[in-house]
Structure 1
Amino acid sequence: MPSRDQIKHHAHLVDGMATTLGIDLQEAALNGDVSMDEVSEAVLSCTACTNPGHCAGWLEETRKAERTPEYCRNQDLFTRLIP
């Protein structure tokens, strides 16, 4: 089981990835486009990523993107939510 700090770190990565793709996860949840369970599952899936350091660096360098990096474990979810 991931630690609280790991979950917080990966929640930040998931939110950062969403923002970089132009997705507002809170708005998507309020609109019913994604459930809070799906967001929670995305964070847990992210904790199993083998590239969180690369992802963090990619997010720092990338302000806007049309797709996730190939290794993103949440690529399908984000692709579905991209406006």
Structure 2
Amino acid sequence: MTEINATPLAACDSCINAKEEWFMSTFDYFSRLTQRADLMDGMMNKLKVVDEMKSMPGHAGVLRRAANRCLTCNQPDACQQWLLDEPNPDEAPGFCRNHDLFERVTSKLDIEKSPDV
């Protein structure tokens, strides 16, 4: 009888540990999402491309793909430091996985702002 009672308790402990691990991994995932969203928002604001990005055709898909690139970036600390160090940048840092996207948007803004020749 003791063996029967011990098995559910051990299984219960295992379930609790699995739930804790799931919660921590889920919490870590959402923390990472939040951190990367903040970094991407900071980058877009620093480069002054927010309005242009929102007005692009298919902007929801463009932003989703940009967010996915940011989420899978392996240099969030360098990004955070760059955002702190660069007061008025002309372009995103070379390591940014969205550098080319932001470059296209800022180039378009530069063309729109230039006087007609």
**TM-score range with shorter-chain normalisation?**
0.7 to 0.9
The CA deviation string for residues 10-43 of structure 1, in whole angstroms up to 9 with x for no partner, is: 111111111111212xx22442356112112111
Task: Tell whether 2:83 aligns with 1:49.
Answer: no
Equivalence map 1:2-81=2 (5 Å): 3-24=29-50, 27-32=51-56, 35-81=59-105
Structure 1, gaps ≥5 residues long:
none
Asked if the contact 2:43–2:83 (Cα under 8 Å) also holds between the matched residues in 1, the reply is yes
Gaps of 5+ in 2: 1-27, 110-117
2:37 partner letter: A
TM-score in terms of structure 2 length: 0.60
Which structure has the highest helix share of the two?
Answer: 2
Would you identify which runs of 4 or more consecutive aligned residues in structure 1 move more than 2 Å?
27-34
Query: Which of structures 1 and 2 has the bigger CA Rg?
Result: 2
Q: Partner amino acid for 1:16?
A: G
Point out the more displaced range, 28-37 or 42-51: 28-37
Which residue identity does 2:97 align to in structure 1? Answer: R
Specify which structure has the bigger relative contact order, considering alpha-carbon pairs within 8 angstroms and separated by 6 or more residues.
1
